[in-house]
Amino acid sequence: MHAIAQILSQALTNLGVQLPPWALPAVAIAVFVALLPRLSDNMRSGEACRAVARSRVADGEARAALDARALTLVEGKAAGLVAVAHAALDANRRDLAAEAVARLRRTGQEAAALRRLEAALAPRSPMLRPTADEELVVIEQYRSTGARVLAAEHLAAARARWPADARFAAFDAEPSGGGGGAV
């Protein structure tokens, strides 16, 4: 710290500015005090993001309490709401991300981040939806790795989207995978 003070003092002397010995520490303290609210906001945002991460594995009331805590910690702070929304999307918590985005919209700040988050939360365009062949591959991969719940969800969605496609019926006949040669 003393070396930094000497360097700054020497730089100011080279610029022709003479400060009394007590001025440099006083300026450093004033800068720290001025930045303290930002540091506090940043710490709250970090704590809120950790609450979001913990809520990923919580259920019921515990999850609701962690969500409420995360949103309360960053209430009215645009940067904190952006951080919570990103953390929620990373944790696959679209409901919490949507709430953070709604609160961010009410602040009227961070327009660019708001547009990005709204785009991330928007339903996928029909042009980006997978084809029947791609969906068959995904379902086969889920079943082969033991992710039966995900496979069942994708299979139900695929049957609703392509009711006439007989390849999806082949999954009922095969108990442990394989979808009838979709590769």
Please report the pLDDT score of residue 180 as a whole number.
44
CA atoms of 136 and 144, how far apart (whole Å): 12
Percentage of the chain modeled with pLDDT above 70: 90
The CA distance from 168 to 31, in Å, is 65
Q: Please choose, from the candidates 64, 43, 60, the residue with its C-alpha nearest in 3D space to the C-alpha of residue 52.
A: 64
**Tens digits of per-residue pLDDT, 137-147?**
888 888 888 88
- What average pLDDT does this structure show over 43-58? 86
Most confident of 4-18, 35-49, 85-99: 85-99
Interacting residues of 89 by C-beta distance below 8 A, sequence separation 6+: 97, 117, 120, 121
Task: Report which of residues 176 and 169 the model is more confident about.
Answer: 169
Q: CA-to-CA distance for 139 and 171, rounded, in angstroms?
A: 9
User: Which segment of 26-35, 132-141, 144-153 scores lowest on mean pLDDT?
Assistant: 26-35
How far is residue 74 from each of residues 81, 83, 174, measured CA to CA in Å?
A: 6, 9, 50
Domain range list for the chain = 25-122, 127-173
pLDDT at position 91 is 84
First to last CA, the chain: 64
Environment class of 52 (CB within 10 Å of its CB; exposed 0-12, middle 13-18, buried 19+) = buried
Q: Which two tokens stand for residue 174?
A: 């095969």
pLDDT (0 to 100) of residue 45: 85
> How high is the pLDDT of residue 16?
83
pLDDT at 182 over 60: no
Averaged pLDDT score across all residues of the chain:
82
Mean pLDDT, rounded, for 16-43: 79
Q: What is the pLDDT of residue 127?
A: 60
Tally: H helices and E strands in the chain:
9, 0
Distances (CA, A) of 33 to 4, 6, 28, 37, 44: 19, 22, 9, 8, 17
Q: How many residues does the chain have?
A: 183
